[in-house]
Structures are given as C-alpha cells and as structure tokens.
Structure 1
Amino acid sequence: MTAVEEAVSKPAVAKPRTMVLAATFAVAAVVVALFSLSLGTTKLPLDEVLRTLLGAGDSGTQLIVLELRLPRVATGLLVGIAFAVSGALLQTLSRNPLASPDIVGVNSGASAAAVTVIVLAGSGGGNLSGAAAKVGLPLAAVLGGLLATLTVGLLSIQRGVVDASRVVLIGVGVAAAANSLVAWLLVVGDVTDAGRAAAWLAGSLNARTWSDAIPVGLAVLILLPVAMMFNRDLSALVLGDDVAASLGVRVSRARLLLLIVATVLAAMATAGAGPIAFVALVAPQIAQRLARVDRPPLLTTAMLGALFVTLADLVARNGLQVLRVGPYELPVGVVTAAAGAPYLLQLIGRQQKGR
C-alpha cells in the first residue's frame, strides 16, 4: 500500500475511535433531550417524561411533552445534524476550516429567500401573497441556498476550476448581498410580518411543530446516507483533486453532488429553525480534532451537532430563569453564537500563525 492509499484509508483505521465518539455524543444528546423535555415553566420528573414517551401519563403531561416540547426537541436534534454535516462537507470540499454554510453564503441565501416568502405571503404582500404562500419556506430556502452556492461557485472559478482559497472571501460577499436584501425586506414589509421574520432570523426553536421537524428529518434521512456513501471520495479529495483523480475518484461529479447535498441540508435546517449560527463551523472542527483524523468524520460530526443545538436550546430556554434574570427565553442562535464566536476568532488566529 502506497503512502497516498494509506492516507485515504486512515479514516478506516480510526473508525473504532470515531464510532465511540459518535455513540458518546448520541447518548449525550438523548440525555440532554430528556432534560429539555423535563425542564421549563412547568417542571416534570424524568420518570414521568419517560412514561409519557412510552404512551402512559395523564392528558396534561401528554400535552406538554408530546405536543409542545417534543417537536421542538426533535427539530433541534435534526437541525443540529443537518447543519453539522453540511459544514463538514463544505470544509472537506474546500479544504478550509472556515468554510461553513453560515460563512460562505448558503445560510444567507436561504434566509433571504425564506424572508421573501414570509414578507410576501403576509398581510403586506398584496397580490403576491397567494403565490408566495404556495412556495413555502422549505422550497424557498433550498432554492435560495442553491442560488447562493451557484453564485459563489461561478465567481470562484479560476482557470477552469473552483479556487478553494477564494470560496470563503467570495462567500462573505454573497452573504453580505443576501443580508442587504433581508434588511430591505424587513423595512418595506408589514410590521407584523417583519417582526415574524426578525424573530425567525435570530435562529429559534420556539413554537416549533412537527411541520417544521418533518421536512428536516426527511432531508437528514435521505442525504446523510448519501454523504456517507462518499466517505472514501472525501478522504481522497482532502489530498487534492489530482491525487483524488489518480485514485479513481470522479472529482467533478463527486464535488457537484456533495455540494448539492451540503446546500440542501443547510437550507432545510435554515427553513426549520432559522440561520442558527456557528453550528456548521464548530461541530466539524471539534469532531475532527477529537477523532484525530485528517477531515471531519461525518457521523461523529452529526451527533456532535445534534448535541450542540439541543444543549444550546436547553440553556436558551432555562438559562435566564436559573440566573434569576427573568422568565424570558433566548433564541437558540444567540447561545450558539456566544459559544461559537470565540472559537471562530481562535481559528482565524491559528490560521494567521500558520502562514
């Protein structure tokens, strides 16, 4: 076995470690989810929550657990998986740890399209309300994310190939343009619709229902296995396109398909809970460092993303009450941003030192 082939097979050697980490994060996410079902304005014992999940419990507890809290927790778990896997794919394809959907413009494009639907389908939409309402947030978010990705890809082409070093810089510009469109829509839209859009833009799991969780769940159920089918191709792409091609990888086909997978996952997650910041950036990098491999392992990253969002939502819902500041809830995006922003600064500093 050559050195290159050994490098490509390294994830297989590290598989026991990555699987243990994935299982650990999955168990931790389930535990946090149970506490999230238990804690809130009405506190419930864990054993009562478990009985309710198994079909027992009185009608009041069933209402709280099954209809109010469980859809929110399920949406958080699924959104965390979708964002984290999307970030892992983008970072691997671009070979840049700063490449995540919330930085390279995917989330901003999805947000702009979704806010357009929220505003045009509201009371201020006039004759466009009916058409906008039929599009729906998930489809609009996917189309907006794909458009942003296509724009970044086309503008990053240099000498016939996408220059990975330009993706982040151009993505920041595309994100700024999409955010400007969002700001304009919030100004011209009806006050009520603008308020709804602003709350959604903060990244929130408040009042999530099964209609929010199911589309994200379907995207994860279909696209996560597709992404994992390309594990070997991803390991080869880390080494460069020429090396990957010499190992039999159809580089253009693999890049295009995986880029679509990453975009759709990020867009569906954005439609389900808003553009929750830094999950897609932080989860892949932490998973990669803990697993000690040359790229973010997909399954481990997915479970860490689920844990990250669920834990952040638990803090967002109950943190201010614990601190006796007030009964108010924070958007989950505020908590993830507070946790992720210092890591982003550290990551940028590390890259600057490496130059």
Structure 2
Amino acid sequence: MKKQAMTIITAGRRKRWRRWIIMNSLLGLLSIVLCCAMLLLGNTIYTLEEVIGALSGEASDGASFAVTTIRLPRMLAGLFAGFAFGIAGNTFQTMLRNPLANPDILGITSGSSVAALFCILVLQTSDTTASIASVISGLGTAALIYILSRGSSFAVGRLIIVGIGIQAMLTAVISYLLMEGAREDLPTALQWLNGSLNGAQMDALLPLFLTVAVCAPVVLALGKHLSTLELGEQSAFSLGLNTDKTRVLLIVSSVCMIALAASVTGPISFVAFLSGPIAKRLAGSGSSNALPAGLVGVNLVLGADLIGQFAFDVRFPAGIITGVLGAPFLLYLLIRMNRKGSL
C-alpha cells in the first residue's frame, strides 16, 4: 500500500514537472517569435536575411539604421521590462498569497513613477539620474508600506490596505506634477505614464539589463522558499525558514527590477498583475512559477506593442493595450474573490 502511494506521488510529480517544462518551452518559443516580429515589422518590412545582415553590419544604411537604432532597442526594452514586470509581480502575489498584492495596486510602481516624473518635469535630469531616483523611490515606498503594515506581526490584509492608501496618495502627487510641469515636457511625461516602448535607446537599457541579470537569478534561486512563504507565516517559520530575511531579499530584488523597468518603459499597466495568474494556469502549481511568469510578461509586453503598432489605424502604446486586457480580468477577479468571501 505504501509502495503504491509512493508510485502515485512520483508519477504525479513527474507529470507536473513535464507540464512545467513543456509550457516554459512554448512560452520561450513564443517570445522568440515575437522578438523576431519586432525586428522584421515596421513601416518597412525586412526579410530575416536583411535583419541578420543589419545586426552583423552588412546590410544597407537604411535597414541597418531601422533595425539597430530603432527596432532592436525597442525589442530589448520589451524583453527585459516584460520579464522584470512578470517575475516581480508573481513574487509579490505568491509571497503575500493574494493575486491583488502586486506592485501596481500596492503603490510601488507609482512610487517609482513619482520620482521619474519629478526628474523629467521638474529637474529635467538625464535618464540615468531618473533611473537611480526611480529605484530609490520604489525601495523607499516598499519599505514604508512594509513598516506601516507590520504592527505586532506581519499581516497580508493590512499590507494591501496600506498599499492601496499609498497608491491613492502617490496618484494625487502624479496628477499635481502633470499640472505644474512645463508644457513642452508634458508629451514625454504622458507617453511615459502610459507605458511605451517608443524611443527606447541602448544607453538607457544598460542599467535594466544589469539589474535583471543580478536580481532575476536571486528570485529564481529563492523559488522554493517563495513557495514555502505561500503556506503562511507560521508554517514557513516552523519549517525553519528565516521569513524576514527571505522576504526582504525577494522584495528588494523585485522592487529593483520593477523600478528600473518602469524608468525605461513607464509603468506598463497590468503586466505585473496578469503574468502570475496566467503562468499558474499554464504551468500548474507543482513548481515555482517565477520563470513562466517572467516569460508571460515578455509575451504580454511584446504582443501588446505589436498590436498597438499594427492592429489599428492609430498607433497605441503597449500600456493602453495591456490596460484594455487587464481591467476586465481585475473585475472578474474581484467578483470571484467576493463570492468566495476572500474580500
């Protein structure tokens, strides 16, 4: 009987692992297809040979300029920002055991946005300074939310309520900055707020590349501990996990990725919110969803940008498309949680 039970458990584990591998492979393949489409499509459609020639420096000046100066930075911005939004959003949702507990709703994204907008509209600083200010502000916002919600013990519900309050306050600050900013800077600020890959440049992408390269492996390595935190504070502590240290590492890594991604592309709405639940539906719950959530984020950003560019007569930024997709899902989730008594 015991041997039969072990056989069933092992078979189930292999089945879940096989599903996880297959879905990650498919998501990765779709990401590659979308990356290629970002390089091939535009006002002029180039062949794959022409794109390869442009990347290797052997194509004509027109193709080389379009591919390497405009399309490649745009594609890389969507690739790394999408992965950062997806993996960070899933981290918060899993760690806090609530699909509403993502950086957008908690106010962390708005915290980064306030600093970036202040640099754009008031100080008129360089992109590097805006990125640094965005990270510092995002970390400060996360620390403030954590401290205010801590109390005598950590409580997820209290953290979400505090985060929503901070989000409302920061949204008011953003509105004030937009009203008081110089008129000539408002188009740039509004485009940034809507979440767009337009105007991405290779120089501004380097901090995002380095941050994702450092922080994403930390989150992936802590995937097992993240699943343990999902069991609850007491259960995780009883299993020997240093919950405070693990939570701080996960929060700092996730906030750094969110802040740098937002400083480059703007706060592309609902990507951090949608990636985790979609990844969980696709890859299942047997293994860490950090990697599939990151890949889902990549596909959402790149797919939304392509739809915004070519599906309509007017071109829309990626954030508009993801907002249209994410808003109905948020309403559905709220209704579902209300029926279950989770709200």
Check whether TM > 0.5.
Answer: yes
Quote the Cα distance in structure 2 between the aligned partners of 1:15 and 1:300: 13
Q: Kindly state the Cα deviation for residue 224 of structure 1 after the two structures are TM-superposed.
A: 0.7
Q: 1:229-248 maps to which residues of 2 (within 5 A)?
A: 229-248=221-240
Paired position in structure 2 for 1:332: 318
1:274-319 Cα distance to aligned partner (Å, 9 max, x none): 0100000101111011122068611111111111100111111112
1:131-169 Cα distance to aligned partner (Å, 9 max, x none): x559711111111111211221122123x2221012222
Quote the Cα distance in structure 2 between the aligned partners of 1:257 and 1:105: 19
Q: 1:50-129 maps to which residues of 2 (within 5 A)?
A: 50-122=52-124
Check conservation: 1:79, 1:273, Cα contact below 8 A: yes
Comparing 168-177 with 78-87, greater Cα deviation is found at 168-177
Check conservation: 2:194, 2:320, Cα contact below 8 A: yes
Quote the Cα distance in structure 2 between the aligned partners of 1:243 and 1:202: 40
Quote the Cα distance in structure 2 between the aligned partners of 1:88 and 1:250: 20
Q: Kindly state the Cα deviation for residue 55 of structure 1 after the two structures are TM-superposed.
A: 4.4
Quote the Cα distance in structure 1 between the aligned partners of 2:178 and 2:193: 11
Paired position in structure 1 for 2:25: 23
Paired position in structure 2 for 1:262: 254
**Could you tell me the TM-score, scaled by structure 2's length?**
0.91
Paired position in structure 1 for 2:333: 347
Secondary structure in 1 matching 2:99: coil
Paired position in structure 1 for 2:183: 191
Check conservation: 2:227, 2:288, Cα contact below 8 A: no
Check conservation: 1:287, 1:296, Cα contact below 8 A: no
Check conservation: 2:17, 2:287, Cα contact below 8 A: no
Paired residue total: 332
Quote the Cα distance in structure 2 between the aligned partners of 1:332 and 1:302: 17
CA RMSD of aligned residues (A): 2.1
Give the alignment partner of residue 204 of structure 2, picking from 202, 212, 215. 212
Quote the Cα distance in structure 2 between the aligned partners of 1:332 and 1:40: 15
Quote the Cα distance in structure 2 between the aligned partners of 1:228 and 1:316: 31
Q: Kindly state the Cα deviation for residue 54 of structure 1 after the two structures are TM-superposed.
A: 4.5
Quote the Cα distance in structure 2 between the aligned partners of 1:13 and 1:225: 25
Check conservation: 1:89, 1:258, Cα contact below 8 A: yes
Q: 1:154-303 maps to which residues of 2 (within 5 A)?
A: 154-158=147-151, 160-293=152-285, 297-303=289-295
Paired position in structure 2 for 1:32: 34
Check conservation: 2:211, 2:260, Cα contact below 8 A: yes
Quote the Cα distance in structure 2 between the aligned partners of 1:195 and 1:156: 36
Listed as ranges, the gaps of 5+ residues in structure 1 are 2-6, 123-131
Check conservation: 2:20, 2:287, Cα contact below 8 A: no
Comparing 229-238 with 149-158, greater Cα deviation is found at 149-158
Check conservation: 1:83, 1:265, Cα contact below 8 A: yes
Q: Are 1:139 and 2:132 matched, yes or no? A: yes
Quote the Cα distance in structure 2 between the aligned partners of 1:301 and 1:340: 15
Quote the Cα distance in structure 2 between the aligned partners of 1:167 and 1:99: 9
Check conservation: 1:204, 1:273, Cα contact below 8 A: yes
1:53-92 Cα distance to aligned partner (Å, 9 max, x none): 3543222111111111110011001000000011011011
Q: Kindly state the Cα deviation for residue 188 of structure 1 after the two structures are TM-superposed.
A: 1.5
Specify the code of the residue in structure 1 equivalent to 2:284.
R
Check conservation: 1:80, 1:306, Cα contact below 8 A: yes
1:17-45 Cα distance to aligned partner (Å, 9 max, x none): 22221221111011112112111112222
Secondary structure in 2 matching 1:156: helix
Secondary structure in 1 matching 2:102: coil
Check conservation: 2:87, 2:294, Cα contact below 8 A: yes
Quote the Cα distance in structure 1 between the aligned partners of 2:127 and 2:66: 31
| Percent of residue pairs identical | 32
Specify the code of the residue in structure 2 equivalent to 1:261.
S
Paired position in structure 2 for 1:310: 302
Secondary structure in 2 matching 1:300: helix
Q: Kindly state the Cα deviation for residue 49 of structure 1 after the two structures are TM-superposed.
A: 2.1
Specify the code of the residue in structure 2 equivalent to 1:213.
L
Quote the Cα distance in structure 1 between the aligned partners of 2:108 and 2:259: 7
Decide whether aligned partners of structure 1 residues 281 and 188 sit closer, same or farther in structure 2, where only a CA change above 3 A counts: same
Secondary structure in 1 matching 2:311: helix
Paired position in structure 2 for 1:125: none
Comparing 36-45 with 175-184, greater Cα deviation is found at 36-45
